[in-house]
Amino acid sequence: MNLKKEIREKQNELIIMVNSTFNDLVKKVEMMEMEENEFESVYETVYPITNTAGFKGKKPIAVIYKGKRQTTPTWKSVVNSVLQEVIKDEVMKNRIMSLRDKLLGRVRKRLSETSDDMRSPLKIYDNLFIETHYDTETLMKLLLEILEEISYDYNEIQVVIKNNTRK
């Protein structure tokens, strides 16, 4: 009986030691990241494009696509930047073109070959328009819906958001 208790005590000691070591390592890595990226950590934060609810009320600064940063001062420009990158691939462009007039909203077409009946159309390509008269969250969900419909891997797309620096 004593041997089991002793084994459990040693096990707990090891777990505490391992957890403490990993916590120290994580703190060191966080400090290194802050030193490397101190300017960005104060003024901006990078999120995955799937963080649609977290974008509400925030201002975009840029989109990072496969490590390449492109300035995008509005949510409309974020959508434009991402879709422009996507249509560079001919297969993806054809898939998006096939979605025209099939993604319908309650009142307006959300993706169409004409800008007719759109309140705030954004031209992506010849005969390809997207409705952008939505709040941030809805617009970003629409973008993700399009990317999912065409089976586009958007895991490498990130959005840089301006931090609120007022105190």
User: Which residues, given as ranges, of the chain have pLDDT below 50?
Assistant: 38-39, 167
Which pLDDT value is given to residue 165?
A: 59
Which pLDDT value is given to residue 41?
A: 58
Owner of token pair 């073109």:
97
- Does residue 167 belong to any structural domain of this protein? no
Which pLDDT value is given to residue 166?
A: 56
Tokens standing for residue 7: 């084994």
Q: For residue 50, give Cα distances in angstroms to 26, 40, 92, 158.
A: 25, 21, 19, 8
Q: Quote the CA–CA distance of 161 and 20 in Å, as a whole number.
A: 33
Which pLDDT value is given to residue 2?
A: 86
**DSSP helix/strand/coil, 80:** helix
Query: What pTM does this model have?
Result: 0.72
Looking at the fold, whether 14 and 61 belong to one and the same domain comes out as no
Which pLDDT value is given to residue 98?
A: 92
Looking at the fold, whether 51 and 132 belong to one and the same domain comes out as yes
49 with 150: CB under 8 angstroms? Answer: no
Which pLDDT value is given to residue 33?
A: 63
Domain assignment of residue 84, given as a range: 42-162
State the total domains in the chain. Answer: 2
Looking at the fold, whether 49 and 32 belong to one and the same domain comes out as no
Task: Sort residue 66 into left (φ over 0), alpha (ψ -120 to 50) or beta.
Answer: left
